[in-house]
Each structure stands twice: as C-alpha cells, then as structure tokens.
Amino acid sequence: MESGLILMNTISTHPGVDPALVPKRTLHTGARMPAIGLGTFGSDHVTAAEIAAAVIGAAAVGYRHFDCASVYRNEDRIGAALRELITGGIPREQLWITSKLWNDKHSEADVIPAFRQSLADLQLDYLDMYLVHWPFPNFHPPGCDVSSRSPDARPYIHENYMKTWRQLEKLVDLGLVRHIGTSNMTIPKLKLLLPDARIKPAVNEMEMHPHLQQTELFEFVRANGIEPIAYSPIGSPGRPERDRTPEDTVDIEDPVIAGIAQRLGVHPAVVCVKWAGQRGATPIPFSVNPRNYLANLLGVVGPPLSEADMAAIAGIDKNCRLIKGQVFLWKQDQTWEDLWDLDGVIKQ
Ligand SMILES: NC(=O)c1ccc[n+]([C@@H]2O[C@H](COP(=O)([O-])OP(=O)(O)OC[C@H]3O[C@@H](n4cnc5c(N)ncnc54)[C@H](OP(=O)(O)O)[C@@H]3O)[C@@H](O)[C@H]2O)c1
C-alpha cells in the first residue's frame, strides 16, 4: 500500500486520498476530469442501495468521478447519495458525474426528456457528461437472454445517430450538460461523426482491459482529441451469466498480471486498473467493497508500473471482448462481431 498517499479526508474520518492528488485528464474544453471513476453497474446482482452506499464510501476516500446510466436503474438511489455528499460539504464543481442515454430513447423527441429524468434522479442541475450508451437504437428487456432480438432493431444509421447527437448538442447549448460523448463506437462510426458533429465528443467510453486492449481505437480517439474511458477495466469478473461465453479469458488470472500483482503485494485487479490509467485511459472500475475501491484509487495515484511491466502487459492482449452486445443485433443470422465493424465497414 502506498502509505505516503493516505491522508485524512476532510469530510470523514476514513483514510483516503486527497482528491487534489488524483490525476486529471484535460478534455477538449479545458475541463479537467478525474482520471479514475467509480463504475455503478451492479451486473444484476448488486443492489442499488449497496451501490449508493459505495458512492458515499468512495467519495469519502477521494473519488469524485462517478459513471452512471439510466439503464443501471439506480440513478435515483445514487442521486440521494450525491445530495448527501453535496450537503455534507463536497462542492458540486468537485464532482464529475456522467450519465448515458439508453437505446430506447434515441428518437429526437425522447432525448431531452430522458436526460431530464436522469438529471432529476441524480438530484443535480447539470451533468458533467452525457453519452450515447450504444450507437444502436435497439431496445431489449432488462435481463433478457443474449439470443433475444427486437423486431424493431436496426443497424447503425448515421443520419439517425446525428439526429440523436443534435439533441445532445442542444443539451450543451441549454447549459444542462458540460460535455457530450460516445460509447461503444468504432473507428468507422467515429469517422462519420467527427466531421458532422458541431460539438465534438469529449470522450469515447470503450471496453478496455489487458485482454482487450483495442490499441487501434485507443490511438485513434486520442489522436482526435477524445479521451478514452476504459470500462470493465478489470475484465468484469462479476458480469452477468448471460454475458459469458466459454471462450472468454480472465485478465486477473493471467500469469503476467498475477506475477506483477504478487511482486507489488496488490490484487491483480489493481494491476489492471494501474495499467489502464498509466496507458492514458480513464478506468471506471466497479466495486462496492471499501478495501477494493480504495486499492483501485491508490493504484492510479501511486507509483507507476515499470516500463518492463507495461511492455509485458502490452504482450498479453487476447482481443477478448467480454461485453459483446449480442442483444443489439438486428437480424437473426448475425454474429456479435457484426456490431464492431471489424473489417472497417459498418455492417448494414
Ligand atoms: N459504456 C458501457 O457500455 C459500459 C459497459 C460495461 C460497463 N460500463 C461501466 O464500467 C464499469 C466497470 O465495469 P464492470 O462493472 O463491468 O467491471 P470491472 O470494473 O472490470 O470489474 C468489477 C468487478 O471487479 C471486482 N473488483 C473491483 N476492484 C477489485 C479489487 N481491487 N480487488 C478485487 N476485486 C475487485 C468487483 O467486486 P467487488 O465489488 O467485490 O469489489 C466487481 O465484481 C461499470 O460499473 C459501468 O459503470 C460501461
């Protein structure tokens, strides 16, 4: 444990990290986003109450960035936690709150009301960031099987995505959100969006962990002034059963990760989080365990991995996508790869 970084937090007696010491990413607007956030998706087995408690606990140890989404169905509980933090003395400007537009709210008339619902649930009067959660307007019932297909499901249609994006731009114009961004986008889709966006995406949230490094996309977004946010940075060991396939590999059991962890005296999860942050991404690990979320924060603030460790981790990419998105497919005879434009062409 990096004991030099353990400070007394001003709002509680918990040991933690001074939020001022947490590295920041400077976005294209000049705003500075904490370079680690707490994920809030309970993977169907962690309750909203536990996650809200983790938000309070994580803030007490120095987190200021929280990654939310309406589809996580806990924004109202998180909102109560945020209210408690703000009334307890954390200035609103110190918090970085992201939410996401769900796939059934892409149509022009639905975007702003959906945003306002998240804003009300989160008990805030502006958000720091609002993302289009997936580039497909395809709805599926919560918890459904991966073979489930909506009869209304469609491929990516750029003209329609731009109609959604214009509404996000309007939210910026209205002063309701400071930044807008994308999630689960590919290079071909971003190449269409970038020239058409009046307000460019500040971030792209993408699956990223040592076994899915997505180096080409990572470099593309950074070259275009977009900050990469690494979701499932630990390899989502608690993800729902429906999101598992026999081919999936386990980052935290990789001998390279486990070996570095053993040498440093940390859990392999912390090595994954450190790697993401040191690589230049903003990891958003989920945890409701105080020891774990503090260890992850210390991982990003503490001493860097050696160049040899970074090189060893660069060598273990297995291109193993865990969040495949099968439920967003629009035809029966497709495979999940069709969502990800692997040959550089957007599938229709
Ligand atoms: N944009 C998108 O489409 C999208 C998709 C997926 C996820 N996300 C976001 O990314 C966040 C993180 O992804 P994720 O939840 O899939 O998975 P993750 O962060 O890779 O893994 C979370 C799991 O790791 C465990 N863990 C965390 N820190 C640990 C530590 N230091 N030692 C041991 N175990 C540890 C947690 O258990 P404990 O609670 O017991 O610590 C939890 O089971 C989500 O919560 C969500 O906010 C976004």
Residue 109 Cα to ligand 1 middle (Å):
33
Mean pLDDT in residue range 162-181: 98
pLDDT in tens, 91-103: 999 999 999 999 9
User: What pLDDT sits at residue 155?
Assistant: 94
For residue 287, report the distance from its CA to the centre of ligand 1, in Å.
6
240 lines ligand 1 (CB under 6 A): no
Q: In the prediction, which pLDDT does 14 show?
A: 54
pTM of this prediction?
A: 0.96
Q: What is the DSSP-derived secondary structure letter of residue 318?
A: -
Over 60: is that where the pLDDT of 11 sits?
A: no
3 pLDDT above the threshold of 90:
no
Strand stretches in the chain, DSSP E? 7-8, 15-16, 24-26, 32-34, 38-39, 65-67, 96-101, 127-132, 177-183, 203-207, 227-231, 282-283
Biggest alpha carbon distance in the chain? 57
Chain centroid to Cα 30, Å, comes to 20
Query: Which of 164, 132, 131, 127 lies closest to 31 in space, CA to CA?
Result: 127
133-168 b/e with 16+ CB inside 10 Å = b?
A: bbbbbbbbeeeeebeebbeebebbeeebbeebbebb
Closest CA to 138 of 111, 106, 116, 162: 106
Q: With H, G, I as helix, E, B as strand and everything else as coil, classify residue 101.
A: strand
Residue 305 in contact with ligand 1 by CB distance below 6 A = no
Question: What is the b/e burial string over 68-97, where b = at least 16 CB atoms within 10 angstroms of the residue's CB?
Answer: bbbbbebbebbbbbbeebbeeebeeeebbb
Tokens matching residue 231: 């979701």
- Would you say the CB of residue 290 lies under 6 angstroms from ligand 1? no
Q: What are the structural domains, with CATH classification, of the chain?
A: 3-339 (3.20.20.100)
In a mutational test of the pocket of ligand 1, which residue from 287, 294, 340 has the highest number of ligand atoms less than 8 Å from its CB? Answer: 287
Return d(Cα 282, Cα 305) in angstroms, integer: 16
Q: 103, 231, 322: which to mutate for ligand 1, most atoms within 8 A of CB?
A: 231
Asked if pLDDT for residue 241 goes beyond 90, the answer is no
Q: Which atom belonging to ligand 1 lies closest to the Cα atom of 183?
A: 1
Catalytic residues: 72
Residue range 212-227, pLDDT digits in tens? 999 999 999 999 999 9
